[in-house]
Amino acid sequence: MKPMLFSYLLLSIFPFCSAELYRAEAERIMNETPLIDGHNDLPWQLLKKFNNRLSVAPANLTLLNDTHTSIPKLRSGRVGGQFWAAYVPCDTQNKDAVKRTLEQIDVIHRMCDKYPEAFVCVTNSTGIEDAFQAKKVASLIGVEGGHSMDSSLGTLRTFYRLGVRYMTLSHSCNTPWVDNWLVDTDQEQPVHNGLSQFGKRVVREMNRLGMLVDLAHVSVRTMADALEVSKAPVIFSHSSAYELCRSRRNVPDDILRRVNETGGLVMVNFYNMYVSCNKEAANLSQVADHLDHVKKVAGSAAVGFGGDYDGVPTLPQGLEDVSKYPELIAELLRRKWTEAEVKAALAMNLLRVFKKAEEVRDSLSQEPPDDEPIAYEELEGQCRTSYGYPARAKASTPSVLPAALIIPLLYSLLL
């Protein structure tokens, strides 16, 4: 008798032990198919708490107890794959965003180096599957915010060579080429009405590289533009369903339907403000509601998990840290999700999208890199040079009055 059928028979006979049975079934499934999470901000915590010094004793990832994430918690949560966020805030834009992002990429690599028994840094779908077999956390890098590349396609390509496998097109700020989610509120005004022409080129270059296009944090118009331009499926690495919580950080139903049509993925965020729209109160069941909604509108192949652990101040009751994932899977089983649907959400959907992005990359292998820079006039900030760009017209210098005219003028002012 299949384990799933046996569990259902037990539940019908002994309903009082249903919670334990669902939890046991969740653990069995997750031992076979570990969870891949789309977004975790532990590297940001390492910067804030320790200035990225993994060598100091309090930064021991096996002993951390004041973060949502640690090695023991990941193991308890059956997390087998993690996109670690290389995040730097918007106030670095036009300043030191690239340097700061490189430092966050570096600390992720050093996590893998320092804890090889727990983490293995990988850059492709095969690497994830190999890590599953080795019982390690497949560690991938996502750059959270297009401001990190400073409008440079060369920087984008360098990020890829350093192991970055997705980039969120914006964080909570516009860049010279993309509008963020705040333009759909009364806090900011649209600048590009989605993606600029250069922004569309960024998406195409990401396709050529095999880097996933992440639409968390972008405006609805940007979502639509990217879905139109991208040849590979897109992801939302940490966003929930707008229909259930009307935060503009969430994904509206019309976009969910486009995700279904294009084979993309929505990895549901756990932040209270995007789950219940109440910063102080949310629960595990409400997160399951978002997963149900994405499955209903976009299909079971579009569902994933993007907890946003260590990047948010409040989390739902029952999902306080990464160790709690089996409780959420048990709730989905209680809601009659099939084993195939659960495994798809756990890992198979992300692997499918990743493999498709790799197929698109391979199909574009004869395409040359896009080496046309953004127009200098589209850039912002005073702290940049213009090397390589055509000489700009110099501001006209004010004409100087001849001395013969200055002396009489000064004399008249003194009278």
Residues designated catalytic: 39, 41, 144, 171, 217, 238, 308
With 0-12 CB in 10 A as exposed, 13-18 as middle and 19+ as buried, what is 404? exposed
Count CB-CB contacts under 10 A for residue 355: 15
Cβ proximity of 74 and 340 under 8 Å: no
Count CB-CB contacts under 10 A for residue 228: 13
Pairing verdict, β 303-305 and 235-236: unpaired
Count CB-CB contacts under 10 A for residue 99: 11
DSSP 163-193: TEEEEES-BSB-BTTB-BGGGGTTS---SSS
Q: Which of 33, 74, 26, 27 is nearest to 323 (CA)?
A: 74
Element containing residue 141 per DSSP (H, E)? strand 137-144
CA angle 405, 408, 414 (to 5 degrees): 140
Cα 78 to Cα 72: distance, rounded to the nearest angstrom: 10
CA angle 49, 51, 53 (to 5 degrees): 100
Backbone angles phi, psi at 165, to 5 degrees: -120, 0
DSSP SS3 for 399: coil
Q: How far apart are the first and last CA of the chain?
A: 111
Cα 306 to Cα 312: distance, rounded to the nearest angstrom: 12
DSSP SS3 for 235: strand
Structure tokens given for 165? 């496998």
